[in-house]
Amino acid sequence: MSLVKLEHINKLYFLDSDLSFQALKDINVVIQKGEFVAIVGPSGSGKSTLMNIIGLLDQPSSGEYILDGLDISKLKENKLAQLRNKKIGFIFQSFNLLKRTKAIDNVALPLIYAGVGQSERLARAKKALEEVGLADKLNSLPNQLSGGQQQRVAIARALVTNPEILLADEPTGNLDSKTGEEILKLFKTLNKTGRTIILITHDHHIADNAKRKITLKDGEIS
Amino acid sequence: MDIRETLRLSLTAIITNRLRSALTILGIVIGVTSVILLVALVTGLKSYITGQISGLGSNLIYVIPGKIGGGRGPGGVQVNRLIPADAKNLKLQLSNEAEVSAVVQKVTKLQYLNKSDKDVTLAGVESNYPKIIQSTKITEGRFFTLSDAEAGKRVVVIGPTVKKNLFDGSSVIGKAIEVNNLKYTIIGVLGPRGSTFGVDFDNSALIPLSAAQKQFGIDKLNTIYVSANSPDKVKEVQAKITKILSKRLSEDDFTVQTQEQTLSTIASITSVLTLALGGIAAISLIVGGIGVMNIMLVSVTERTKEIGLRKALGARPQDIRNQFLVEALTLSGLGGIIGIILGASLSLIANQFITTVIPLWSVGLSFGFSMLIGVIFGVAPAIRAAQLDPIQALRYE
């Protein structure tokens, strides 16, 4: 069964009463469990909009999105939040770690919203940090870590809920090329252990690390 | 997400931003402290005055010269027309229902050998005085009797302050003190009654009325105390006094007031004071609340990205709302608790100098009020935080 199924997805932004902008035009995408897919396109191609829709942060104007067998167009805000928590692991370009908060607590954050008890939260966060190779940085604050390490903490945070999809938005954008490669290597390793990864980038070289490329241009798949 | 997790999140946020939290709390702390302290002062004042007055005896009625509370403005100097014959008259006609005791008094200087005590309230009273003024306690010796008074003896019962000022701890009974070159033999010492606003009730001395009239050379009375034999007779006796005195005096010449009337006058004064001072303190609480709202709004803006992240990680709008609401409540509640502790401590310290009483309602009210302020001023920022669009919030720099 397909994990992500997008059918005839359109997204319109209304800039004015009679002026609209179509960010996505008739998008049809199917992603299977265990895939490593890159969505590539220049800025303004609609890749961020697509990522927000896949990540349940945004709703399409029309079309159908089936996530893990569930039609999300019928779901309410609270249910969407719950699905984001359970099924999606976000990785952002700017890491988005909480300042003045230890790595382990940053990683444990999504588990709070999953209703997991504190001791189990910390145990799982510790395991996730070990998985990304930061077993010795549990109690470090973000500003004590390098960029690459911070992104690893963010990846651990995405992994900790054991989601269906890792959704990475330009994950190497703020890193030097060497550190970026290490992060991409980590993605490959994670994919080998069965994780589904969707990588959003403008850079075709980075996208080449994925097993499949979906190229977006002007809101359309080309 | 349950309330324990929400509380933990809020506490973490408060501790992470220590300085900001402390400054936010400060407004509430000052507000609650001033409510507790001011109410404690006024309540203490009320209970002290009430205690002093009811200590005199609840059946007590005063007759004083002049008109008080007649609805006229301050009418200049009034001539005292109350004379011993009026007291005698009352005594005769109320003999079955009440005890009557006339008083003349003057502030004067007492002397013993080379020591002197200025500003002593020297009162000429009758021998039934201790029966009427129930707070009169004799700690040494005795009070003067009717026969002492009739024999025209110059005897005196002194207050504890007088004893302290004139004698150094030695026995005072039988010693003679001087008032304007006339000698009085000490036969007793009064127990302490305390002081209010610097007026020392213990810096006084009592002599027989007849001796006082000779001493001062006056034939006017300062007060006539009447004590009804039973509490339910007080009103009746009061009416009779007015009737008896009206035969000789006009209604502007005297005032008859019961203990109850005095107490209710004091109660109405202090309740106005409580309201006025409490109101001023409440304003500072509201200002503190606006401070909480200000900080919470700033905090929502400052943490926009964090809110977006939390939403992306699965926080529902109500999770975000509750976090900010609990944060505001915790801040104001914490401020309330610190304010109560501070206010109570200051009241206890003040109690060393003047009576303060902390009524439970002022603690409950100010804490409840500070929590209410937390809710009122916390709701707007919390709702604003909950409604942030996660995509916009994540992009916010």
- Residues A183-207 have pLDDT tens digits of 999 999 999 999 999 999 999 999 9
pLDDT of residue B195: 58
- Model confidence at B303: pLDDT above 90: no
**Buried-exposed string B375-384: b where 16+ CB fall within 10 A, e elsewhere:** ebbbbebbeb
What average pLDDT does range B179-193 have in this prediction?
Answer: 89
- Contact present, B231 and B97 (Cβ < 8 Å): no
Give the Å distances, CA to CA, from B305 to A83, B345, B351: 21, 42, 51
Of B361, B393, B89, B28, residue with least CA distance to B224:
B89
Q: Mutating which of B303, B305, B309 best tests the A interface, going by the most A Cβ atoms within 10 A?
A: B309
Average pLDDT, chain A: 92
- Among B9, B314, B390, select the one facing A114 at the smallest CB separation: B314
User: Between helices B360-386 and B18-54, what is the axis angle to 10°?
Assistant: 160
- Among A57, A112, A157, select the one facing B1 at the smallest CB separation: A112
- Contact present, B47 and B354 (Cβ < 8 Å): no
- Among A78, A110, A112, select the one facing B5 at the smallest CB separation: A112
pLDDT of residue A114: 92
Q: Residue B369: enclosing H or E segment and its boundaries?
A: helix B360-386
For chain B, which residues make up each domain, given as ranges? 3-51+265-395, 102-220
- Model confidence at B196: pLDDT above 80: no
The alpha-carbon gap from B393 to the nearest alpha carbon of chain A, in Å, equals: 11
What average pLDDT does range B242-253 have in this prediction?
Answer: 87
Residue in the structure block whose two tokens are 């569930």: A70
Which pairing describes strands B60-65 and B254-258: parallel, antiparallel, or unpaired?
antiparallel
- Model confidence at B87: pLDDT above 80: yes
Query: How far apart (Å, rounded) are the C-alpha atoms in residues A210 and A218?
Result: 22
Of A46, A52, A48, residue with least CA distance to A65:
A52
| B194 pLDDT tier (thresholds 50, 70, 90) | low
Query: How far apart (Å, rounded) are the C-alpha atoms in residues A170 and A189?
Result: 18
Q: Report CB contact under 8 Å: B315, A81.
A: yes
CATH 3.40.50.300 assigned to A35-61+77-221: yes
pLDDT of residue B317: 92
Question: Does B11 contact chain A (CB < 8 Å)?
Answer: no
Q: Mutating which of A57, A93, A97 best tests the B interface, going by the most B Cβ atoms within 10 A?
A: A57
Quote the ipTM score. 0.92
What average pLDDT does range B257-266 have in this prediction?
Answer: 83
Instruction: Name every chain A residue with its beta carbon within 8 A of the beta carbon of B315.
Output: 81, 113
The angle formed by the CA atoms of residues B185, B123 and B192, to the nearest 5 degrees, is 80
Query: How far apart (Å, rounded) are the C-alpha atoms in residues B338 and B346?
Result: 12
Give the burial class of B306: count Cβ atoms within 10 A of its Cβ; 0-12 exposed, 13-18 middle, 19 or more buried.
buried
Query: How far apart (Å, rounded) are the C-alpha atoms in residues B64 and B256?
Result: 7
What average pLDDT does range B208-222 have in this prediction?
Answer: 87
For chain A, which residues make up each domain, given as ranges? 35-61+77-221
Tokens of residue A31, six digits: 């992603």
Q: Mutating which of A49, A59, A112, A160 best tests the B interface, going by the most B Cβ atoms within 10 A?
A: A112
Whether the model pTM is above 0.95: no
- Model confidence at B170: pLDDT above 80: no
pLDDT of residue B397: 73
Instruction: Name every chain B residue with its beta carbon within 8 A of the beta carbon of A58.
Output: 391
What average pLDDT does range A47-64 have in this prediction?
Answer: 92
For chain B positions 317-376, those within 8 Å of chain A (CB to CB) are 317-319
- Model confidence at B381: pLDDT above 60: yes
The dihedrals phi and psi of B9, each to the nearest 5 degrees, come to -60, -45
| B71 pLDDT tier (thresholds 50, 70, 90) | very low
Question: Does B252 contact chain A (CB < 8 Å)?
Answer: no
Strand partners, B184: B177
Of B195, B174, B169, residue with least CA distance to B185:
B174
Q: Report CB contact under 8 Å: B314, A86.
A: yes
Q: Report CB contact under 8 Å: A84, B313.
A: yes
Q: Report CB contact under 8 Å: B316, A157.
A: no
Greater confidence (A177 vs B278) lies with A177
pLDDT of residue B197: 47
* A30-44, B17-31, B43-57, B78-92, range with the lowest pLDDT: B43-57
Q: Mutating which of A113, A150, A167 best tests the B interface, going by the most B Cβ atoms within 10 A?
A: A113
pLDDT of residue B1: 65
The alpha-carbon gap from B386 to the nearest alpha carbon of chain A, in Å, equals: 12
Give the Å distances, CA to CA, from B322 to B16, B266, B383: 18, 48, 9
- Model confidence at B79: pLDDT above 80: no
Residue in the structure block whose two tokens are 């669009």: B389
Nearest C-alpha in A relative to B5: A112
Long-range contacts of A75-83 (CB under 8 A, 24+ apart): A77/B316, A77/B317, A78/B316, A78/B317, A78/B318, A80/A56, A81/A113, A81/B311, A81/B314, A81/B315, A81/B316, A81/B317, A81/B319, A82/B314, A82/B316, A83/A56
| A61 pLDDT tier (thresholds 50, 70, 90) | very high
- Among B1, B8, B9, select the one facing A115 at the smallest CB separation: B1
The dihedrals phi and psi of A164, each to the nearest 5 degrees, come to -70, -40
Instruction: Name every chain A residue with its beta carbon within 8 A of the beta carbon of B8.
Output: 118
Q: Report CB contact under 8 Å: A52, B391.
A: yes
Instruction: Name every chain A residue with its beta carbon within 8 A of the beta carbon of B9.
Output: 112
**Residues near B133 by Cβ (< 8 Å), separated by ≥ 6?**
B56, B57, B60, B225
Q: Would you give the DSSP letter of residue A142?
A: G
The dihedrals phi and psi of A145, each to the nearest 5 degrees, come to -110, 155
pLDDT tens for each residue of A70-124: 999 889 989 999 999 999 999 999 999 998 889 999 999 999 999 999 899 999 9
Chains A and B form CB pairs within 8 A to the count of 58
